[in-house]
Amino acid sequence: MIHALTIDVEDYHNIFARDRLKREGPPTDAVVRNTQRLLSLFDEFGARGTFFVLGEVARDYPKLIREIASAGHELGIHGFYHRQVFKLTPEDFRREVCDARTIVEDIVGVPVHGHRAPAFSIMPATRWGLEVLADAGFRYDSSVFPISGRRYGWPDFRSDIHIMELPGGRRIVEAPLSTVSVLGRRLPACGGGYLRHFPGGVTRWAMRKVGHERPAILYMHPYEIEQDDAPLDLARLSPAEARAVTRFHRLQLRNRRTVEPKLRALLAEFRFAPMRDIVESALGIRLADFAGSESNLRRSAV
Ligand SMILES: [Zn+2]
């Protein structure tokens, strides 16, 4: 079984400042450093994956995007400013993903097929996002977490990679994030905070368990292997806000030191490929051909 290796390329520092401190700023070069560390780690193990990148990262660090592509990885889109889909109108969502895709395609010179929403924010309330993506020509999405989560999730969503027939007549491939059933509950276990905070054996167990039925989708962020404790500028916050963001920041930094060894163990045990390849072999399609049927549908839907 070959699994999907997926990286959401964003800068912790500017997203943290935007979401938690309400301060706008460009991505810092930490995203470059950390992504390059991942690239050399993946290269060491001969693993290839999909890097879903933010438009603002591609805009500010085009050389990094070229490095990812020339190392043999697939590029996808992770929004422009990491705004969750529910914070956007359909028009703004479309503009963000299309602007990001234009920047990435201009840099690498090959079509971008895939999308992952910031914070897995394709949910029942934002299912219109799939229509927007299909209409904009994206071939696959990998944003749905089929769980009932506090911040995200689409309970009862199918667990396998499948083609969704959308109400407007369009179609898109959805590759939902991996879950494992424990005592009748579907839990996420193949990446992100779960990789960071759980012992490494938990993720390896979850990947094996998922792998009995289908490819697992491992996801992570470059900043998870960064070990620098970035100073926080709390100047314009109330004392209560400052305490809350400091607490959140500490939780985010916790166990980062454990991520690289855990990742090495995963790369040594499992075989990984870009999401594009995983989707194509799971469904027996070519994503480029899938676009043809979709644009026919689009024309008939107008
Ligand atoms: Zn993200």
Determine the Cα–Cα distance for residues 257 and 259; give it in Å rounded to an integer.
Answer: 6
Ligand 1 centroid to Cα of residue 19, in Å, is 12
Ligand 1 centroid to Cα of residue 296, in Å, is 32
Ligand 1 centroid to Cα of residue 282, in Å, is 25
Mean pLDDT, residues 146-170: 92
Determine the Cα–Cα distance for residues 245 and 17; give it in Å rounded to an integer.
Answer: 10
pLDDT digits (tens, 9 = 90+) for 226-250: 877 677 788 888 898 889 888 888 8
- pLDDT > 70 in the chain, percent: 96
pLDDT digits (tens, 9 = 90+) for 116-134: 999 999 999 999 999 999 9
Residue 264 CB partners (closer than 8 Å, separation 6+): 41, 45
How far, in Å, are 37, 173, 230, 280 from residue 283 at the CA level?
Answer: 32, 9, 43, 5
Asked whether residue 149 carries a pLDDT value surpassing 90, the answer given is no
For residue 160, give the nearest of 124, 213, 212 by alpha carbon: 213
Mean pLDDT, residues 92-115: 97
pLDDT digits (tens, 9 = 90+) for 255-277: 999 999 999 999 999 999 999 99
Ligand 1 centroid to Cα of residue 8, in Å, is 5
Asked whether residue 297 carries a pLDDT value surpassing 60, the answer given is no
What secondary structure does DSSP assign to 25-91, as a single string?
-PPPTHHHHHHHHHHHHHHHHT---EEEE-HHHHHH-HHHHHHHHHTT-EEEE--SS---GGGS-HH
pLDDT digits (tens, 9 = 90+) for 6-64: 999 999 989 988 888 888 899 999 999 999 999 999 999 999 999 999 999 999 999 99
Ligand 1 centroid to Cα of residue 66, in Å, is 20
Ligand 1 centroid to Cα of residue 220, in Å, is 9
Helix (H) or strand (E) holding 7: strand 2-9
Ligand 1 centroid to Cα of residue 221, in Å, is 7
Ligand 1 centroid to Cα of residue 179, in Å, is 18
Question: pLDDT: is 237 or 173 the higher one?
Answer: 173
Ligand 1 centroid to Cα of residue 299, in Å, is 32
Asked whether residue 301 carries a pLDDT value surpassing 50, the answer given is no
DSSP 118: G
Q: How many helices (H) and strands (E) are present in the chain, helices listed first?
A: 12, 11
pLDDT at residue 296, rounded to an integer: 40
pLDDT at residue 291, rounded to an integer: 64
Asked whether residue 189 carries a pLDDT value surpassing 90, the answer given is no
Determine the Cα–Cα distance for residues 154 and 156; give it in Å rounded to an integer.
Answer: 6
Ligand 1 centroid to Cα of residue 27, in Å, is 13
Ligand 1 centroid to Cα of residue 293, in Å, is 30
Q: What confidence category does residue 302 fall into, taking pLDDT thresholds of 50, 70 and 90?
A: very low
Ligand 1 centroid to Cα of residue 118, in Å, is 4
Radius of gyration of the chain from Cα atoms?
Answer: 19
pLDDT digits (tens, 9 = 90+) for 177-186: 999 998 888 8
Asked whether residue 287 carries a pLDDT value surpassing 80, the answer given is yes
pLDDT at residue 7, rounded to an integer: 98
pLDDT at residue 251, rounded to an integer: 87
* Cβ-based burial of 252 (10 A; exposed 0-12, middle 13-18, buried ≥19): middle
pLDDT at residue 293, rounded to an integer: 43
Ligand 1 centroid to Cα of residue 61, in Å, is 17
Ligand 1 centroid to Cα of residue 85, in Å, is 12
Crossing angle, helix 12-20 and helix 239-253, to 10 degrees? 150
- pLDDT > 90 in the chain, percent: 75
pLDDT at residue 19, rounded to an integer: 87
Does domain 2-295 fall under CATH 3.20.20.370? My reply is yes
